[in-house]
Amino acid sequence: MAERSEDAERRIAETWQRNAGPWTTAVRAQRIDSRRLVTDAAIVDAILQRRPRSLLDVGCGEGWLLRALAGRVPLRVGTDRVAALIAAARRAGDGEFHVASYEALAAGALKQRFDVVSCNFALLGDTSVSALFAALPALLAAGGACIMQTLHPHVACGEVPYADGWREGSWAGCGEGFSAPAPWYFRTLASWIALFEAHGLRLREMREPLHPHTARPASVLFIAERG
């Protein structure tokens, strides 16, 4: 996709603002099979295995993860750059929610440190994701971990070359009511690992949750600690 990175990043923000309503409905109605069958439980389990007292969910969307962890993680904070999604999260409650982009987090928008920083299927951009990774060490408490789940590159690559670059998105499998999808930045597994290393994060574990119907990875889940 021949598009400047800054233009693609802007399109991501605009598209998610337009589609905040349909996305909230899709998540709360459990319309996305892979989430319902595999990936929601995968990130909840990974977080709870760390027994955190505090959690920051970056790119929290309409707040489902903080609600799922209510009563099990005492301090739960969510951030998202899309104001409409944060408004939906606040209405549902069960957490503290702030409008903040990855760049704002890198600039110090939050002064707290957390036992776990999670990011669940919200690593969509190029420069914005690099900004988030730069911010992570300052957001993690001593012994803390970042837990990130995203599309598995070997599955999401499709028939195009296995190389980093911008791709067109899709709302397939999400239900009705969506307008044009946002672009997203594809990374190979090697590029993901290099991104952790470049920002002083030690990759401790990589999980590949399998879809029960296809036996193929539904996602890849990274667990890394501050170096």
pLDDT of 3 strictly over 90: no
pLDDT of residue 186: 97
CB 30 within 8 A of CB 95: no
Mean pLDDT of 115-132: 96
In this structure, how many other beta carbons lie within 10 angstroms of the beta carbon of residue 214?
10
Residues 158-183: tens digit of each pLDDT: 999 999 999 999 999 999 999 999 99
Give the percent of the chain with pLDDT over 70: 99
The whole model's pTM is what? 0.96
Q: How far apart are CA 77 and CA 96, in angstroms?
A: 5
pLDDT of residue 1: 47
Q: Which amino acid is at 19?
A: N
What is 49-91 written as a DSSP string? HT--SEEEEET-TTSHHHHHTTTTSSEEEEEES-HHHHHHHHH
pLDDT band at 2 (very low <50, low <70, confident <90, very high): low
pLDDT of 226 strictly over 80: yes
The mean predicted confidence, pLDDT, of the chain is 96
Residues 147-160: tens digit of each pLDDT: 999 999 999 999 99
Q: Is 105 left (phi over 0), alpha (psi -120 to 50) or beta?
A: alpha
Structure tokens that stand for 223 in this block: 């667990």
For each of the domains in the chain, give its residue range(s) and CATH number, in order of start.
5-226 (3.40.50.150)
